[in-house]
């Protein structure tokens, strides 16, 4: 199975980059599934129903999120009905929406997607480890799914790596989001799960993690009030990973970084 995962989409530059490059990637890589983190797709703050439909129309099978999921309040009613849009599974009990889903393609292949959020330097939230342990008892490779992808939305590399080793051998891929910077630690862990600490951002890289750099710099260099943060303007890039799994085990046989567009050193995967 071949899976494309794209990191946090940030504002209009990110949406335009996704619309520009996803059709090309579908043609060259022929993925079986596409998963996109839509965390900041709506003007840099959350996501709305219209954008979700745009991503689904482009070929996204699942949209993951994170700490900004509720920034656009209209998404609350939408996520109650749309099972392909996830929020972190370790949100408090009673929170609307779902933290995992199973999707099936035209070939009959089944992909399980789990969305969790880490704790360090993030808003207070339940530990992701017990939730993952519970979910991985329900979603099992070569039992009720053919592959499993875990999106870990979090700040620190250490906690993401800990979650990677915790899930190693039980899932096909663990990939981090949230920092908007692609990491260079793409690998297959010892028990066979693909891993990358952060997939990076889909957005304008002539920015400070997607935000207009002049506004961000003013906040760093002055104690005076500044403009409200907004996405940088300019041509965007797409960042993520491309994972191939073994049809017999569901574990990873290959993982490659995916980077294409303006402002970042490109790395184009090759289907194997």
pLDDT in tens, 205-238: 999 999 999 999 999 999 888 788 899 999 999 9
Is 88 inside a domain boundary? yes
Range of the domain at 187: 2-261
Average pLDDT over residues 54-63: 98
Structurally, how many domains does the chain consist of? 1
Q: Token digits for 68?
A: 């900004």
CATH number at residue 52: 3.60.21.10
The mean pLDDT value for 9-14 works out to: 97
Residue 180 among the catalytic residues: no
Find the mean pLDDT for residues 174-193: 98
Q: How far apart are CA 197 and CA 159, in angstroms?
A: 9
Chain position carrying tokens 């663990």:
174
Report if residue 232 sits inside a domain: yes
Average pLDDT estimate for 88-112: 97
Q: In this structure, is residue 267 part of a structural domain?
A: no
Region 161-165: mean pLDDT is 98
Cβ–Cβ < 8 Å for 23, 58: yes
Q: d(Cα 155, Cα 176) in Å, to the nearest integer?
A: 9
Of all residues in the chain, what percent carry a pLDDT higher than 90? 93
8 A C-beta contact, residue 181 and residue 157 = no
Q: Classify residue 272: in a domain, yes or no.
A: no
Mean of the per-residue pLDDT values of the chain: 96
Query: Does residue 70 fall inside a structural domain?
Result: yes
For residue 27, tell me if it sits in a domain.
Answer: yes
Q: Is 148 inside any structural domain?
A: yes
Q: Which of 68, 153, 178, 180 is catalytic?
A: 68
Q: What pTM was estimated for this model as a whole?
A: 0.97
What residues have CB less than 8 Å from 203, skipping those under 6 apart? Answer: 8, 9, 10, 11, 13, 14, 17, 40, 180, 210, 231, 232, 236, 237
**Stretch 138-145: mean pLDDT, rounded?**
96
Q: Is residue 268 part of a domain?
A: no
The label of the residue with tokens 């929406």 reads 97
pLDDT band at 65 (very low <50, low <70, confident <90, very high): very high
In the chain, which ranges are E strands?
Answer: 2-6, 33-37, 62-64, 100-104, 110-117, 147-153, 173-177, 187-188, 194-196, 237-245, 252-261
The sheet with strand 33-37 has its strands ordered as 62-64, 33-37, 2-6, 237-245, 252-261
């Amino acid at each position: 199975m071949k899976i494309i995962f794209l990191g946090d989409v940030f504002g209009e530059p990110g949406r335009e980059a996704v619309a520009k490059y996803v059709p090309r990637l579908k043609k060259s890589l022929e993925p079986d599934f596409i998963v996109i983190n839509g965390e900041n797709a709506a003007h840099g703050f959350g996501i709305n129903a219209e954008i979700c439909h745009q991503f689904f129309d482009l070929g996204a099978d699942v949209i993951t999120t994170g700490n900004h999921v509720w920034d656009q309040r209209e998404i609350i009613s939408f996520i109650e009905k749309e099972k392909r849009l996830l929020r972190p599974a370790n949100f408090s009990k009673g929170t609307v929406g779902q933290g995992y889903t199973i999707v099936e393609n035209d070939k009959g292949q089944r992909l399980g997607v789990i969305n969790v959020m880490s704790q360090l330097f993030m808003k207070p939230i339940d530990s992701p480890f017990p939730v993952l342990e519970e979910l991985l008892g329900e979603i099992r490779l070569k039992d009720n799914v053919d592959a499993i992808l875990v999106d870990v939305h979090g700040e620190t590399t250490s906690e993401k790596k800990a979650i990677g080793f915790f899930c190693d051998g039980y899932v096909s891929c663990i990939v981090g989001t949230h920092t908007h910077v692609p990491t260079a630690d793409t690998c297959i862990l010892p028990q066979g799960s693909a891993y990358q600490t952060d997939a990076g951002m889909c957005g304008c890289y002539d920015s400070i993690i997607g935000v207009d750099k002049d506004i961000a710099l003013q906040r760093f260099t002055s104690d005076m009030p500044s403009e409200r943060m907004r996405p940088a303007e300019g041509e965007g890039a797409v960042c993520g990973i491309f994972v191939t799994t073994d049809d017999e085990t569901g574990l990873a046989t290959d993982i490659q970084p995916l980077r294409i567009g303006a402002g970042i050193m490109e790395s184009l995967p090759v289907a194997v």
